[in-house]
Amino acid sequence: MKTLKYKKFSGLHIVCKKCNRHIEISQTPYKGCNHPLERQKYKAIIKSNGGRKTRDLKSLDYDEAVKELLDFKCELSNPIKLIKLNAQPEIKYELFTDFMYMFGDWLENIGIPRHEQKIRSPKHIKETIGYINKLGGFLMKNGYDLKKLTIYQVDKHMLGKYYEYLEQTIKSNATFNHNIRALKSFYNFLTGEKQLGLPNIPKKMKLKYENPNPTSISDEDFLKLLSVINENDSIEILKSGVKKNRFRPYTKDGIELCAYTGMRLEEVTSLKYSDIVVDSNGELECIIGTDLKFERAHNWDKTKATKSVYIPISKELEDLLNRLDYKANLGVDKFLIAGNENIDRKTLAKQLSHSFTFYRRKAELGNDFSIKHLRKTFLTKLHLQTGLTESMGYQKTSSVVLKNYIDKKAVVKEVNKRGFSYF
């Protein structure tokens, strides 16, 4: 991949503004960016007063970029000069691409006051920026020069054509809505944060209805899937020709823990032996998990008590915990799944997800469910047998559980099984 000219210089980096990677040739951990030269910019990252100051440099010439960086260092070391410079008229940005880059920085909280900062996951930032870049790509394909196109020239007719393009090319309602929500967020940034005198065009864009109609996994299908999880014939050949071994000694245990706890995949991989609670007689009482989705959205600053989920002990979960030798590890700060492995928890979660899909296909089951459906299956069973799902902390309200997690067909079957009668 061709990159801007680079020689190692303290504080100077090359950044791809499409995928937000540092791509200077000396930083191998950031390799993998294949975006064109036009997406690259020099960036200054300076340590100052115990913090980090950053600035996108204007010049694409190496020597000029170094001069800009040195000027930036001088500003930071000379408060009087810095105040004087800040008093100068602000540069007026108008290009559509300039605001794309600003939006990316805003999502990453670059230059944002602490009280206005919002914690966003790297995945969310990357996907949101990707959706806006998708709009840029659409405009280019339709003859617009992004080097000249101003944000004020992007009118409702252009965005209307883009909306129609998304309708025609995206089959999934959820994916379509992700694109539109990113567009709405971008324009909220333009009109709110940047206070541009623009009409908020995406405000009138309608999202598609996402009918959850949750489905659960039948007992027969799940048991059949478990029966094929072993090291025999567990090599998957990807379309690229790369071979992947989908079996690990902990694969089956990990999938079963997902099924018997009803927790999200990342929450399952974070469960530890120290989360297991026993009563005064030493008998299993529950496992206390953490609602990580809630924590990220509502408790990112750790000002509230952690939202715990009290996982009931079923016969199946008890058997699994015995296999995991919980008595010998009770109270130990060690992960239940792959506790002896040097593996990142997010990587483990992806690994279990891919393995689930592989073994589902190996068992010749349908393609209409994934490892995520184990949570829906668990909550459906818990709802039918107890009706106390939200009381244990799985969701905040029963309406969320009923709308997004309960398999209506399974409910009907259970009602029929119990002998429903009109009179």
Domain edges within the chain: 1-88, 92-211, 219-418
Interval 327-347 mean pLDDT: 94
- Weakest mean pLDDT among 63-67, 82-86, 187-191, 410-414: 82-86
Measured distance CA(96)–CA(151) in Å, rounded: 4
- Percent pLDDT > 90 in the chain is 52
Residue 136 has pLDDT above 90, yes or no: yes
Inter-helix orientation angle 173-188/122-141, to 10°: 90
- Weakest mean pLDDT among 76-90, 282-296, 335-349: 76-90
pTM of the model: 0.62
List pLDDT tens digits, range 18-68.
676 777 754 444 556 766 666 788 888 888 776 778 888 888 888 888 888
For residue 307, the model assigns a pLDDT of: 84
Residue 85 has pLDDT above 60, yes or no: no
CATH class of 219-418: mainly alpha
The Cα-based distances of 289 to 252, 309, 310, 348 in angstroms read 20, 5, 6, 17
- Percent pLDDT > 70 in the chain is 84
Residue 357 has pLDDT above 90, yes or no: yes
Residue 269 has pLDDT above 90, yes or no: yes
Give me the DSSP letters along 61-104: SHHHHHHHHHHHHHHHH-HHHHHHHHTSPPP---BHHHHHHHHH
pLDDT greater at residue 15 or residue 335: 335
Interval 260-270 mean pLDDT: 94
Measured distance CA(303)–CA(284) in Å, rounded: 31
For residue 398, the model assigns a pLDDT of: 65
For residue 150, the model assigns a pLDDT of: 94
pLDDT greater at residue 364 or residue 422: 364
